[in-house]
Amino acid sequence: MRPADPDDIDARFEALIAQFDEDEIRRITAEAERGLGPGGRRARAPVVVLALAALVVAVGLVISLRPDVLGKLGSLRSAAAGGEPAHQPHFGPAVARPGPVLTPISDDDDAFLEGGGVASALPPVDPFAGSRAAGFADGVKGVVLPRARALGGLSRKQVAKALRRVRRLLAAARLDPAAIRGGRPSALAKLLDPEQRAYFLKHLDKGRASNTRAWAFSLAPGSADLTTDTVKVDGATTTARRRSKDGRGGITITADYLLVYAVNRPGDRASARRLVDHYRARFSAWEEDGDVVVWLDQTSSGTAGASCDFDDGFVHPHFDGESQRVQPSGPPADPYNRGHDVARGGCQATTRT
């Protein structure tokens, strides 16, 4: 239906009211209040009711589209009675209900309806509640660095610089939103040593054995949505003197972390589940041409809650009711136990995440 023009509505209303002179309006109003016909006879009461009903039906559309018209009706009645125009009350937006009732809604209620009703008014469910991950730190706050000290021919400041670079590499590899959602892990590439960066990009999403996609945590595109952007992190970073035959000296930095992600089937937040990623990485740091080089030597990870059916470097969450070609085996391992050897491979069963 074409939206009514406000000026046209006012004109129609005024034309309708003009059909009744002041005496007629005064008579109809008085008789409607008393329920009597002319001369006090009740026999004509139905006629009065029908006349008023006709008036209401005729202006019903006007009232539903322009609630301020109700104020005009009050003013007319007061003027016909010889008094001052009645005060016109303020009406909020009107919502049509079944039947002839129009319910004003306050500004606060408008916001409530726009937010989706009762469901949106409820606090979001914490996907980590009830698990050990609930006590973990949020994101990069969980990446704990040891106190820097001179070691392996590096000064305390050089060790501190190497540790900060490792912290950034860990965040880029496991906490970068773009990479987690299956996008290009550009943040990680930028932080790698230039020589290692070239290798990483050359082999990204190519082949199997040399595929570098697994250097980052990436959900397979279309496999799942993040239920929350928060990733729970717990673990430790340690340093030791680097033992090598190249004569460079320096230090070895080892990162051993649990990262817990909350995911759900695409568009289905009710299917939320947790993925526990046990990530280990070893870095080397040494001095070269007056600067500190940080090199990723080794990385390994095992993700509880993911399917073992794929070998493309992406993480494929496994949801209840889904079948798997490769079934987990062996005694169930505790996914929150960092003593578990994630480097041995295979598809091991785990306890609940």
pLDDT value, residue 209: 79
As a whole number, mean pLDDT of residues 196-217 equals 94
pLDDT: is 67 or 310 the higher one? Answer: 310
pLDDT value, residue 345: 63
Q: Indicate if the pLDDT at residue 167 is higher than 80.
A: yes
pTM of structure: 0.65
Angle between helices 45-65 and 6-18 (to 10 degrees): 160
As a whole number, mean pLDDT of residues 56-67 equals 37
Q: Which of 179-183, 231-235, 294-298, 306-310 has the lowest mean pLDDT?
A: 306-310
**Mean of per-residue pLDDT scores for the chain:** 75
DSSP 254-313: EEEEEEEEEEEETTEEEEEEEEEEEEEEEEEEEEETTEEEEEEEEEEEEEETB-SS--SS
Would you say 62 and 11 are in contact if contact means Cβ atoms under 8 Å apart? no
Would you say 292 and 158 are in contact if contact means Cβ atoms under 8 Å apart? yes
DSSP 38: G
Residue 247 one-letter amino acid:
G
As a whole number, mean pLDDT of residues 67-78 equals 40
pLDDT digits (tens, 9 = 90+) for 209-220: 789 999 999 999
Question: Of the segments 72-76, 116-120, 257-261, which one has the largest average pLDDT value?
Answer: 257-261
As a whole number, mean pLDDT of residues 113-123 equals 38
DSSP 99: S
The 3-state DSSP class for residue 219 equals strand
pLDDT value, residue 347: 84
Longest dimension (CA), the chain: 121
pLDDT digits (tens, 9 = 90+) for 240-268: 999 877 778 999 999 999 999 999 999 99
